[in-house]
């Protein structure tokens, strides 16, 4: 009969995610992970596979816990512009409180260039966020006096680029005024869609 696991998977996954998030993939060793997770190296391999498999699992956990939750809140907002504004307000607050940055963006810069499978997961995940902005923009009523063509997909990509820029600058120690300026510009771009 197999022995029951002597650890709580969500707890040890959170510890592993923190290691990857703070130190990056390359700088985090299996020994670092096992120590942070308070398990043996053998338990790590038996339960999660190799370091790369564990990283992928941590990235999925991060997406479910943070990115997808924010997109779901945006989808649930009654007013798309207010929803996008709230998205950025919460993002700035989180970025200033936690200087680890965004695990997804960190992975895009560090891991994606050399791992095609993880690059695909990262690209799909960024597209999920972009799609959330696209759905919000698509819900905006068209103004009869607004003659300028509106391209929701292109604007969603620009908003996503603002999110990525904000996260990178926050991790690099960017000041609050700069981050808020980026957020205001992104929201203003959307507000102009409804200008008469």
Number of domains in the chain: 1
Residue 62 falls inside a structural domain: yes
> What is the mean predicted confidence (pLDDT) over 64-90?
95
Mean pLDDT check: name the lowest of 15-24, 77-86, 148-157.
148-157
pLDDT for res 1: 41
Q: What is the mean pLDDT of the chain?
A: 89
d(CA 166, CA 92): 8
Give the range of the structural domain holding residue 169, as residue numbers without chain letter.
56-194
Write out pLDDT tens, residues 5-16. Answer: 567 888 999 999
Say if residue 155's pLDDT is above 50: yes
Residue 44 falls inside a structural domain: no
Residue 7 falls inside a structural domain: no
Residue 127 falls inside a structural domain: yes
Report the SS3 class of residue 7: coil
Residue 50 falls inside a structural domain: no
195: tokens are 């200008």
d(CA 59, CA 21): 9
pLDDT for res 146: 52
* Helix, strand, coil fractions of the chain, as percent rounded to 5: 75, 0, 25
Residue 82 falls inside a structural domain: yes
d(CA 53, CA 45): 9
Report the SS3 class of residue 160: helix
pLDDT for res 153: 92
Say if residue 119's pLDDT is above 90: yes
Residue 9 falls inside a structural domain: no
pTM: 0.89
Which CATH number goes with the domain that contains 82?
A: 1.10.357.10
Picking from 43, 41, 31, 36, the residue whose alpha carbon sits closest to that of residue 16 is 36
- Give the CA angle between residues 82, 84, 87 to the nearest 5°: 110
């Amino acid at each position: 009969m197999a022995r029951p696991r002597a650890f709580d998977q969500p707890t040890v996954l959170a510890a592993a995610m923190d290691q990857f998030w703070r130190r990056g993939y390359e700088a985090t060793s299996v020994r670092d992970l096992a120590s942070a997770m308070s398990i043996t190296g053998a338990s790590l391999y038996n339960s999660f596979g190799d370091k790369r498999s564990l990283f992928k699992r941590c990235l999925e956990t991060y997406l479910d816990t943070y990115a997808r939750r924010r997109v779901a809140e945006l989808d649930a907002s009654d007013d798309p512009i207010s929803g996008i504004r709230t998205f950025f307000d919460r993002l700035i607050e989180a970025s200033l409180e936690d200087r680890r940055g965004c695990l997804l963006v960190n992975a895009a810069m560090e891991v994606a260039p050399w791992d095609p499978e993880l690059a695909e997961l990262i690209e799909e995940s960024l597209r999920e966020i972009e799609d959330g902005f696209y759905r919000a923009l698509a819900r905006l009523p068209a103004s009869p006096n607004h003659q300028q063509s509106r391209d929701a997909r292109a604007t969603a990509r620009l908003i996503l680029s603002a999110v990525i820029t904000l996260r990178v600058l926050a991790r690099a120690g960017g000041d609050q005024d700069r981050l808020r300026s980026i957020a205001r510009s992104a929201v203003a771009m959307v507000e102009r869609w409804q200008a008469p």
